[in-house]
Chain A
Amino acid sequence: MLDFFLWRLLRGYAEFRASGGFAARFLNLCDAMRLHVWDLQFEGGDVCGRVSCRDYRRLRLAAGKAGMRLRCTGKRGLPFFLRRSRARWGLAVGAAVCAGLAVFLSGFLWSVETGDVGAVNEQALRAAAAQIGLYPGAKKPSMNGEDLAVALRRQMDGALSWAAVNVRGCRAVLEAREAAALQTLPDPAFGAPCDLVADFDGLLLQLEVHSGEKKNAVGNGVKTGDLLISGTRLDREGKPHYYEARGVVTALHEDARTMETPSALQLERVVAVRRVPVLHLWHLSLPLGVFPRGGTCTACTRTESAVLHGVTLPFSLEWRTRCYWAACEAEAAPLAFDSFVLALNERYRATRVLSGEVSAATADGVLTLTQRSRVIDFMGVKRPVAARKGAASD
């Protein structure tokens, strides 16, 4: 459809109005004479339509045969435009200069952009690209993308495992991946000598020794600080050797958590949001509105820059937004309960909870949330052997 429209514009067409006579006969004659007419409309007995320049003379003949009076109401298209603009030679020169400039400038890179570069430093990548001749304003590279990518990798001196340079029109898009770093394995050496001791009171349910000497048994009740696995082992001659005690210990215990918070919270709520656009033209900033004065507020800005084919133009619209706040009072219980439950979930992520209850009490404007539960939890905290030795010597 658009092709038809452009073709008609290029060829030129006339708008006509045929009045009087026999409209139907006129149309049939047009059809019979194979005249190219379109957009025929009927206005109070008149026929209005469009016809190509070439067929207009023959259309007059058809109108005469049908007893209609034909009038040309308009001329459209390139031939008529050129005829009208014959005296305005500056227009043609301007168009030619513009076309020449476009052709000339399309031989240069207008922008160099970075696409998906992973963890590669963009500045370093751009600097390396500039070294191989990829920078805004440079002539379009004669090399193909593959050679450019190889050159870029060489320039980055092995820092890239993969690179691609895609020249799309007047833009060059760089994509790269960093070279994989050599993985360093963890040091296989053992850790510092230590014992494993109980970090809370409880009943031992599991005691599995990976390194060291077992010093307690399943079913025993232990208190905080009791030795579970010892990192000291005596040889046949009674000489002590120190290791890092390691193992898995689980114990049943009663756990209690409390959280205190003021029963009423002082909150702030948004009472108004105002947005003011600011127009930036080169270095000139024109605010297109004002903010109301007073009140506490927070501000944020969002800038919409005009970008043409990847090149940022020197004008933009900045939206300055201010949120005005006002103090208000709210009940703390729901919020406190939510945060308390979240904290409990975090605490018991690796714990099996057998039973539990949460209670709340308010006294003197303080809300106290208490949780008591019966849990099976991992037990054991490392205590350096040196500390035990020091304690023994004391």
Chain B
Amino acid sequence: MKHLWNRRLRVLQRVDEAAAIAAPRVELSADKQAVVEGCGGVLCCGETLVRLSCGPLVLELAGSALCLNHLSDSRVCVSGSLTALRFVSA
């Protein structure tokens, strides 16, 4: 019984860790810069809206004069005048 319980607990822990790795992490510097980690790719980009794929979620960054300062493995740095940050279910 105890053995079964431990196995279930381990499975649950693995699920949590996987979710934590896939979850996006957003760091804001006032309304001037946002650094997004755990980003899967760029879905849409423009002067006023940048949509990023973050696993099951889509992160929308709205603002004006948006600029992608950095783009590399799962990390995107967006600068400009940010007005809204929204998660949308894909």
A2 to chain B, nearest CB (A): 15
Is B42 touching A24 in the complex (CB atoms < 8 A)?
Answer: yes
A189–B64 Cα gap in the complex (Å)? 93
Is A28 part of the binding interface, using a Cβ–Cβ cutoff of 8 Å?
Answer: yes
Contacts of A37 in B (CB 8 A): 71
Is A38 part of the binding interface, using a Cβ–Cβ cutoff of 8 Å?
Answer: yes
Per the 8 Å Cβ criterion, residues 27-52 of A in contact with B are 27-28, 30-31, 34, 37-43, 47, 49
Instruction: Categorize the interface residue count of chain B.
Output: 10 to 19
Chain A binding surface, main DSSP class? strand
Is A159 part of the binding interface, using a Cβ–Cβ cutoff of 8 Å?
Answer: no
**Beta-carbon nearest neighbor of A27 in chain B:** B42
Is A38 touching B44 in the complex (CB atoms < 8 A)?
Answer: no
Is A40 touching B67 in the complex (CB atoms < 8 A)?
Answer: yes
Is A23 part of the binding interface, using a Cβ–Cβ cutoff of 8 Å?
Answer: yes
Chain B 40-56 interface mask (CB, 8 Å, partner A; 1/0): 01111111000000000
Is B61 part of the binding interface, using a Cβ–Cβ cutoff of 8 Å?
Answer: no
Is B71 touching A27 in the complex (CB atoms < 8 A)?
Answer: yes
Is B69 touching A38 in the complex (CB atoms < 8 A)?
Answer: yes
Is A31 touching B72 in the complex (CB atoms < 8 A)?
Answer: yes
A28-B41 CB under 8 A given contacts A42-B46, A42-B47, A43-B47: yes
Is A40 touching B46 in the complex (CB atoms < 8 A)?
Answer: no
**Beta-carbon nearest neighbor of B78 in chain A:** A40
Is B73 part of the binding interface, using a Cβ–Cβ cutoff of 8 Å?
Answer: yes
B43 to chain A, nearest CB (A): 6
Contacts of B72 in A (CB 8 A): 31, 34
Is B70 part of the binding interface, using a Cβ–Cβ cutoff of 8 Å?
Answer: yes
Is B62 part of the binding interface, using a Cβ–Cβ cutoff of 8 Å?
Answer: no
Q: Identify which of B45, B47, B65, B73 contacts A27 (C-beta below 8 A).
A: B45
A38–B65 Cα gap in the complex (Å)? 15
Contacts of B71 in A (CB 8 A): 27, 30-31, 37-38, 40
By a beta-carbon cutoff of 8 Å, the part of chain B in contact with chain A is 41-47, 65-73
Q: Which 8 pairs across A and B sit closest by C-beta, in order of nearness? A: A40-B68, A27-B42, A28-B41, A42-B47, A41-B67, A24-B42, A42-B46, A24-B44
